[in-house]
Every structure is written in C-alpha cells, then in structure tokens.
Amino acid sequence: MAVLNVNGVSKSFEDGEVIKNITLELHEGELVSLLGVSGGGKTTLFNIIAGLSAPDTGNVILDGEDITGKPGNVSYMLQKDLLLPYRTIVDNVALPLLIRGMSKKEAREKASGYFEEFGLLGTEKKYPAQLSGGMKQRAALLRTYLFSEKVALLDEPFSALDMLTKGTVHEWYLDVMEKIKLSTLFITHDIDEAILLSDRIYLLTGKPGTITKEIVIKEPKPRRKDFNLTEEFLEYKREIISHLEEG
C-alpha cells in the first residue's frame, strides 16, 4: 500500500502550465526518484506535495488523508543545507521540535538521541563552519527527518558534494532509511545517482512537465559495489538517456 499518492496534479502560473496531470505513488521504505531536465516542473511538484502551493487540479494523499495545500505533513530538504551558522549542530537539528512547542531541553535530548544513528556523534556542540560538506548534509537530513518522520522530499541534496563524498553519503543514507523506515521522494538531474539509489524512477519530460515513463530498478539493495560498472547499469542508463532525448 502506498504511503503517499499524488493524483492528477496540474499547476499553471502566469506564463503557462508548468506540470500536467502528474500521478505517482511512494510505498513505505522506498526511494523513488524524479528525473528530468531543468525547468521541467519537479520543484513545483515538490512544493505542491509539501503543501506550500496548491494545485489547479488533483490532490495529495498521505496515509489515506488528503493533505493538499496543508503544509507540515512531510519533510522537505532543499539543495543547500541551510544550517544556521550561529547555532550549534544540535540546536540546528532540534529546530523542528522547537517549532512544534517542545522545550529547548527536551528538543536537544530528543535530537541528540539520533546523532549516533546519523553518524554525527561528537558534533553536537560544533558549529556548521566546523563540519565537512558531507557532515553538514547529514545534520540537515536529520533535521529534515525530525520535521516529519514518515516521508522526506529531497531536492538534489547531494549535488554539491564531490564524487567520493557523494558515494559515501549515498551508502549511509540508504542504510539510515532502512533503519528508521523512512520513505523518500528524490529530485536529481544525475542519472547515475538515480539508478544507484532508486527503487523506481519517474521520468518527467516535456513542457508542461508530464511523467512519461516509470523505470523499476531490479538490482537489490544495498547495491553491489561495482553495480555502476555492469551491463545492467549501462542498459538502465541508455534507456533513460534515450527517453529524455525523445522527450
């Protein structure tokens, strides 16, 4: 059963229709990627799923409840980590709990309880400037998780990382997802990243943006270390490139 359903969502702005009749679903524990060219409407769709923008048509259902136009039901992490430089890491991470009305002491205690699982032990009293790019992303992802512990929307969260760091963070994120039973909808422009991380990939093409293909990645997770060197991987990549070029 799907934890998240997007049904027939369309959205227009003054300069025309941006997305048209988008329908997708996310099951518990899945990582599903949205892949397409820049300007195809992926961020517009995320804003609608997050309740930050209302669709012209269609709805968004979370665990059987209509959350269309209602913010605060799913987590949403943008490309930049957006950590506040003047707050310690534990206070950055605890922000969603403070917003919900939890006391500072309780928020810090709850947030600190996840630091080991997220690979952040020892960073609690440090400031963002003292952390590497990969560690900042881990802190931002933990903050995102504490906002809503069911579904996370990630908009190119790893794009600023170098290739070696990105590979390490990919492996870590999939491991954490499994441990905490998190479901993730993921925007990326990186075809390799989408194939390596995803259970399924939706290809968004055209203007207005429309989902024109769904690709199921059959390779079990965690993926073998050399999966990106296999013929299966290259075949997925060829299929995606061919479809995007046609779109």
For the stretch 216-224, contacts whose Cβ atoms lie closer than 8 Å and that sit 24 or more positions apart, written own/partner, are 221/174, 222/171, 222/174, 222/175, 223/196
Cα 60 to Cα 70: distance, rounded to the nearest angstrom: 10
Specify the amino acid at residue 163: M
pLDDT at position 124, please?
94
Average pLDDT over residues 185-195: 91
Contact 44, 210 (CB under 8 A): no
Phi first, then psi, for residue 212 (nearest 5°) are: -110, -5
E-assigned strands of 125-230? Answer: 151-155, 183-188, 200-205, 210-216
Contact 89, 131 (CB under 8 A): yes
Average pLDDT over residues 224-231: 89
pLDDT at position 79, please?
65
Rg (CA), the chain: 18
Whether residue 164 has pLDDT greater than 90? no
Average pLDDT over residues 39-47: 89
Phi first, then psi, for residue 83 (nearest 5°) are: -70, 140
Whether residue 119 has pLDDT greater than 90? no
Average pLDDT, the chain: 89
| Per-residue pLDDT band at 58 (split at 50, 70, 90) | very high
Contact 28, 183 (CB under 8 A): yes
Cα 121 to Cα 203: distance, rounded to the nearest angstrom: 38
Whether residue 127 has pLDDT greater than 80? yes
Q: Which residue has the higher pLDDT, 181 or 2?
A: 2
Whether residue 177 has pLDDT greater than 90? no
Whether residue 27 has pLDDT greater than 80? yes
Whether residue 81 has pLDDT greater than 70? no
The tokens of 111 are what?
């947030």
| Per-residue pLDDT band at 96 (split at 50, 70, 90) | confident
What pTM value is reported for the model? 0.84
